[in-house]
Amino acid sequence: MTHGPILLGVVGDSAAGKTTLTRGIAQILGEANVTVIGTDDYHRYDRHQRAELGLTALHPDCNHLDIMQPHLALLRSGQPILKPIYSHKTGTFEPPQYVKPNQFVVVEGLLGYSTRAMRDCYDIKVYLAPPESLRETWKIKPDTLKRGYSEAQV
Ligand SMILES: Nc1ncnc2c1ncn2[C@@H]1O[C@H](COP(=O)(O)OP(=O)(O)O)[C@@H](O)[C@H]1O
Ligand SMILES: O=C(COP(=O)(O)O)[C@H](O)[C@H](O)COP(=O)(O)O
């Protein structure tokens, strides 16, 4: 019997450890067998616009959930998507990328379980919720080293 791609969800707040866990999963399964989809790419507004609107990226309105949902369904059925790209380095969007699902697809991000239709796409769902004090500590390093924030801004 043939089976389409296996979809794994890794969802949780910023700095909950999603990227770290996803990298480990990809190493174990073999990088060539895994397609990683970061749902930060589905942000609706860039960093500057979010600041102007007074919204954080965790707000559902700040994300194209309506686009994310059919994309998950396409990947689940083995079909390619034209995925948006959000750059954490610049806080802006880049040209979209053609992405084909490998044997395993890991979907990691903030709001990957927002609707029933999205949740139904996954074979395995993980939700990461480390203690808040630990998450705050974990948030400082990537935001100051890779995203251009000062420690005070984080
Ligand atoms: N399981 C873990 N053990 C130790 N440190 C961790 C762990 N998970 C994450 N971290 C630390 O927290 C930081 C943020 O983790 P990351 O995986 O980038 O979170 P997310 O992708 O959810 O934003 C990492 O750079 C790392 O320093
Ligand atoms: O909440 C998150 C997700 O972080 P993570 O990827 O750690 O879960 C970020 O604040 C937004 O994606 C905006 O990114 P930026 O702050 O770079 O504009």
Each residue's pLDDT tens digit, 42-71: 999 999 999 999 999 999 999 999 999 999
**145, 18 Cβ separation under 8 angstroms:** no
Q: What is the pLDDT of residues 106-136, one digit of tens each?
A: 999 999 999 999 999 999 999 999 999 999 9
Ligand 2 centroid from CA 126, angstroms:
19
pLDDT of 2 reads 59
Beta bridge partners of 43: 63
Ligand 2 centroid from CA 3, angstroms:
33
**118, 72 Cβ separation under 8 angstroms:** yes
**CA-based radius of gyration for the chain:** 16
Ligand 1 pocket test: which of 19, 20, 56 has the largest number of ligand atoms within 8 Å of its C-beta?
20
pTM above 0.80, yes or no: yes
Among all bound ligands, the one having the nearest atom to the CA of 57 is 2
Residue whose CA is closest, atom 4 of ligand 2? 14
Q: How confident is the model at residue 149 (pLDDT cuts 50, 70, 90)?
A: confident
